[in-house]
């Protein structure tokens, strides 16, 4: 029986571990029941929604109404794509995903003098994980996507191999930022993991800050030996998704790039928080110390935890350790967004800390958007690219060693995509971690196979144990920015007078607005009542161009009203002031 603190972190792991290891988090990179590099990022992302615009209103309204106890219910449908730049996912070919019976082929290459070729095997009858890297991509034989000319495209030569960024519509998100040119603030992002090779030629030049919770004399920002040791390289590979140096003519792009003068920039201030040694061993105590430093000393607003604790609820010792982890997360509630990997056990229960109610739990998909076989299910919040175990190039490409690159698969690789999107939202001005989390869930998309059209997840069906609220959508989140609100109002040509509380819809758009208070006098002689949806995307406090807006007339004189779908589009009308209740 494993100890309460045994944890599969980042790599391929299995539910049980050999022996009673004490208070250790174990990264079992070669184990069966793999975590396939389960990287847990804790982000509290808020879901943003879009609202359809309406510049004129139809209907006679409600007359003089003083409803009490009545409610308006419906589902908000937003048109985020109405003014997003186009991106092409053709004619590049998606990497084939082999069955579990087929062994992966090793991949080898060379860049900057680093050479490595490695295939992880889960043992007899076990799952396998392929990983590899090197080169400029010429020998991979694959180019997955072509970008439309309208996109803001950095010049990183291996971007074409980064199917993961295209699956989450990161290039369209970059183009959205290029159009908006928002003021971007700096966002400290903590990567709680193994040490990170700060000297990698393709990571952000800095400044980097680090903290070592293990106290064994190893610098959190030093380079681990052996570029092919995926346990030791785990932190560096997670870091590449969030903090690769983008548009520098080298290697890969990070999800956090912001186009602009001088080649663009990244709003990320990276924090390397070492809580695992080069074999992936650590403890709950190390993790809680790392979280405390990241938030209290490092000022982290996003915390990525690429690790997991596959606890057994029937074991009191397991639950005691889990409670310690939960207590530390509770202590920092509201100060940072935590994002965590769902786990790579392929089971029906999330690993911890992904199972904490205020942590964004991220599942993994393969290059087609289909749930990866290793990804745990349960209270998943959303999914992001984690890769398939074969072929090698169906993994997620990232930084490795001091100058190389490698492919790795797992929920560990999925989570940092969500952390990166959260950092971009915060940099664009969304301050509350809970709103960032809400926006990410609300804008997450339904998932279809890009070739066959098969529906893997339909968001209108509600939350899925496997897919949560859908696929991370960086473009949609950055276009919406803030969470839409739904409320009852009287509307004039130049103002919207709220007569109820403003509520957030659920991630699938379902809403209920109570009309249980006296609505007051008519606004400027207008007595019609509307249910209004509004996302103040430019954050100026007015309904204006750049926002999402929609309204429908309602009559509450007969009690509750179901309006069906309330559509919201980019607002095109004149500027309207908003008078809150």
- Confidence category of residue 96, pLDDT binned at 50, 70, 90: low
Q: What is the mean pLDDT of residues 10-25?
A: 26
- Confidence category of residue 69, pLDDT binned at 50, 70, 90: low
More confident residue, 90 or 551: 551
Q: What is the pLDDT of residue 5?
A: 35
- Which of 146-150, 221-225, 499-503 has the weakest average pLDDT? 146-150
Q: What is the pLDDT of residue 11?
A: 35
366 CB-contact burial (10 Å; exposed 0-12 / middle 13-18 / buried 19+): buried
Q: What is the pLDDT of residue 206?
A: 79
Q: Which two tokens stand for residue 502?
A: 């403003």
Phi, psi angle pair for 505, to nearest 5°? -75, 165
Residues β-bridged to residue 304? 339
- Which of 8-22, 178-192, 420-434, 541-555 has the weakest average pLDDT? 8-22
Sign of the torsion formed by the C-alpha atoms of 238, 239, 240 and 242: positive
Cβ contacts of residue 38 below 8 Å, gap of 6+?
Answer: 8, 9, 10, 11, 13, 306, 307, 308, 341, 342, 343, 344, 351, 410, 411, 412
- Which of 217-226, 513-522, 535-544 has the weakest average pLDDT? 513-522
Q: What's the chain's average pLDDT?
A: 78
Q: What is the pLDDT of residue 130?
A: 33
Q: What is the mean pLDDT of residues 136-158?
A: 52
- Confidence category of residue 78, pLDDT binned at 50, 70, 90: very high
Q: What is the mean pLDDT of residues 44-49?
A: 25
Q: What is the pLDDT of residue 516?
A: 55
More confident residue, 580 or 28: 580
Q: What is the pLDDT of residue 111?
A: 23
- Which of 88-97, 115-124, 340-349 has the weakest average pLDDT? 115-124
Residues β-bridged to residue 42? 303
Q: What is the pLDDT of residue 557?
A: 81
Is residue 563's pLDDT more than 60?
A: yes
Q: What is the mean pLDDT of residues 450-455?
A: 91
Is 412 marked active-site?
yes
Q: What is the pLDDT of residues 108-122, one digit of tens each?
A: 222 222 222 222 222
From the candidates 6, 151, 156, 193, give the one annotated as an active-site residue. 193
Q: Which two tokens stand for residue 398?
A: 């990232």
Q: What is the mean pLDDT of residues 507-531?
A: 71
More confident residue, 289 or 171: 289
pLDDT over 90, % of the chain: 63
More confident residue, 311 or 465: 465
Q: What is the pLDDT of residue 531?
A: 96
Is residue 46's pLDDT more than 50?
A: no
From the candidates 234, 245, 318, 332, give the one annotated as an active-site residue. 234
CATH 3.40.50.200 domain position(s) in the chain: 108-479
125 CB-contact burial (10 Å; exposed 0-12 / middle 13-18 / buried 19+): exposed
Start-to-end CA distance of the chain, whole Å, equals: 58
pLDDT over 70, % of the chain: 74
Q: What is the mean pLDDT of residues 425-446?
A: 96
Q: How far apart are CA 9 and CA 413, in angstroms?
A: 11
């999107």: which residue's tokens?
A: 421
Q: What is the pLDDT of residue 190?
A: 98
Q: What is the pLDDT of residue 378?
A: 96
Is 557 marked active-site?
no
Is residue 214's pLDDT more than 90?
A: yes
Q: What is the pLDDT of residue 511?
A: 96
Q: What is the pLDDT of residue 226?
A: 74
Is residue 446's pLDDT more than 60?
A: yes
More confident residue, 458 or 130: 458
CA 189 to chain centre: 13
Q: How far apart are CA 465 and CA 344, in angstroms?
A: 14
Is residue 150's pLDDT more than 80?
A: no
Q: What is the mean pLDDT of residues 379-406?
A: 94
């289909």: which residue's tokens?
A: 370
- Which of 29-43, 328-342, 426-440 has the weakest average pLDDT? 29-43
Q: How far apart are CA 412 and CA 35, in angstroms?
A: 8
CATH 2.60.40 domain position(s) in the chain: 70-83+481-579
| Closest among 338, 507, 329, 334 to 416, alpha carbons compared | 338
Q: What is the pLDDT of residue 528?
A: 83
- Which of 142-146, 149-153, 155-159 has the weakest average pLDDT? 142-146
More confident residue, 298 or 116: 298
Q: What is the pLDDT of residues 353-390, one digit of tens each?
A: 999 999 999 999 999 999 999 999 999 999 999 999 88
Is residue 185's pLDDT more than 60?
A: yes
Does an H or E element contain 131, and which?
strand 129-132
Query: If you classify domain 108-479 with CATH, what class do you get?
Result: alpha beta
Q: What is the pLDDT of residue 182?
A: 63
Secondary-structure breakdown of the chain: helix, strand, coil percentages, each rounded to the nearest 5: 20, 25, 55
From the candidates 45, 412, 500, 544, give the one annotated as an active-site residue. 412
Beta strands in 260-367, from DSSP E residues, in sequence order: 268-274, 302-305, 337-341, 360-365
More confident residue, 148 or 370: 370
Q: How far apart are CA 283 and CA 287, in angstroms?
A: 6
For residue 522, the 8-state DSSP code is -
Residue pair 40/58 in contact (Cβ under 8 Å)? The answer is no
Q: What is the pLDDT of residues 229-251, one digit of tens each?
A: 888 999 999 999 999 999 999 99
Is 332 marked active-site?
no
- Confidence category of residue 41, pLDDT binned at 50, 70, 90: very low
Is residue 254's pLDDT more than 60?
A: yes
C-beta contacts of 256-265 below 8 A and 24+ residues apart: 256/420, 256/423, 256/424, 257/154, 257/174, 258/174, 258/177, 258/184, 258/424, 258/427, 259/152, 259/154, 259/174, 259/175, 259/177, 259/178, 260/178, 260/181, 263/154, 264/152, 264/154, 265/184
Query: If you classify domain 70-83+481-579 with CATH, what class do you get?
Result: mainly beta
Q: How far apart are CA 181 and CA 175, in angstroms?
A: 10
Residue pair 467/380 in contact (Cβ under 8 Å)? The answer is yes
Q: What is the pLDDT of residue 545?
A: 93
160 CB-contact burial (10 Å; exposed 0-12 / middle 13-18 / buried 19+): middle
């Amino acid at each position: 029986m494993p100890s309460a603190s045994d944890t599969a972190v980042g790599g391929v792991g299995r539910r049980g571990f050999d022996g009673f290891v004490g208070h250790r988090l174990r990264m079992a990179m070669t184990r069966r029941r793999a975590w396939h590099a389960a990287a847990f990022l804790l982000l509290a992302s808020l879901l943003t929604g879009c609202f359809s615009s309406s510049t004129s209103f139809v209907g006679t309204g409600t007359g003089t109404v003083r409803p009490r106890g009545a409610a308006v219910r419906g589902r908000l449908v937003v048109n985020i794509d109405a003014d997003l730049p186009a991106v092409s996912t053709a004619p590049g070919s998606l990497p084939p995903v082999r069955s579990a019976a087929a062994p992966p082929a090793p991949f080898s290459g060379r860049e900057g003098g680093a050479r490595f070729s490695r295939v992880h095997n889960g043992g007899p009858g076990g799952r396998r994980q392929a990983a590899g890297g090197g080169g400029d991509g010429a020998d991979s034989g694959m180019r997955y996507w072509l970008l439309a000319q309208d996109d803001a495209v950095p010049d990183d030569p291996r971007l074409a191999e980064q199917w993961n960024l295209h699956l989450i519509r990161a290039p369209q998100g970059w183009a959205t930022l290029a159009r908006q040119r928002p003021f971007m603030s700096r966002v400290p992002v903590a990567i709680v993991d193994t040490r990170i090779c700060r000297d990698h030629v393709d990571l952000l030049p800095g400044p980097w800050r680090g903290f070592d919770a293990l106290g064994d004399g190893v610098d959190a920002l030093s380079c681990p030996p052996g570029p092919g040791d995926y346990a030791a390289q785990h932190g560096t590979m997670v870091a590449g998704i969030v903090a690769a140096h983008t548009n520098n003519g080298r290697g890969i792009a990070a999800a956090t790039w912001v186009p602009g003068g001088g080649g663009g920039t990244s709003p990320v201030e990276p924090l390397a928080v070492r809580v695992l040694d080069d074999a992936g061993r650590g403890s709950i105590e190390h993790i809680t110390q790392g979280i405390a430093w990241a938030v209290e000393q490092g000022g982290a607003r996003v915390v990525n935890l690429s690790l997991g604790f596959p606890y057994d609820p029937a074991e009191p010792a397991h639950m005691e350790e889990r409670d310690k982890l939960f207590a530390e997360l509770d202590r920092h509630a509201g100060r940072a967004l935590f994002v965590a990997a769902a786990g790579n056990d392929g089971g029906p229960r999330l690993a911890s800390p992904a199972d904490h109610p205020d942590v964004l739990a991220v599942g993994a998909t393969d290059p087609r958007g289909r749930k990866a076989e290793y990804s745990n299910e349960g209270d998943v919040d959303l999914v992001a690219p984690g890769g398939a175990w074969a072929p090698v190039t169906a993994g997620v490409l990232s930084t490795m060693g001091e100058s190389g690159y490698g492919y790795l698969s797992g929920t560990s690789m999925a989570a940092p995509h969500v952390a990166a999107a959260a950092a971009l939202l915060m940099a664009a001005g969304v301050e509350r971690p809970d709103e960032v989390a809400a926006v990410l869930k609300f804008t997450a998309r339904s998932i279809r196979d890009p070739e066959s059209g098969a529906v893997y997840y339909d968001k209108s069906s509600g939350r899925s144990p496997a897919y949560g609220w859908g696929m991370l959508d960086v473009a949609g989140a950055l276009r919406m920015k803030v969470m839409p609100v739904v409320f009852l109002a009287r509307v004039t040509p130049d103002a919207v007078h709220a007569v109820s509380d403003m509520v957030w819809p659920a991630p699938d758009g379902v809403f209920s607005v109570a009309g249980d208070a006296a609505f007051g006098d008519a606004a400027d002689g207008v007595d019609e009542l509307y249910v209004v949806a509004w996302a103040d995307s430019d954050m100026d406090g007015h309904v204006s161009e750049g926002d999402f807006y929609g309204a429908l007339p309602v009559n509450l004189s007969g009690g509750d009203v179901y309006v069906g779908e309330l559509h919201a589009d980019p607002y095109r009308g004149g500027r309207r002031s908003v008078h809150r209740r």
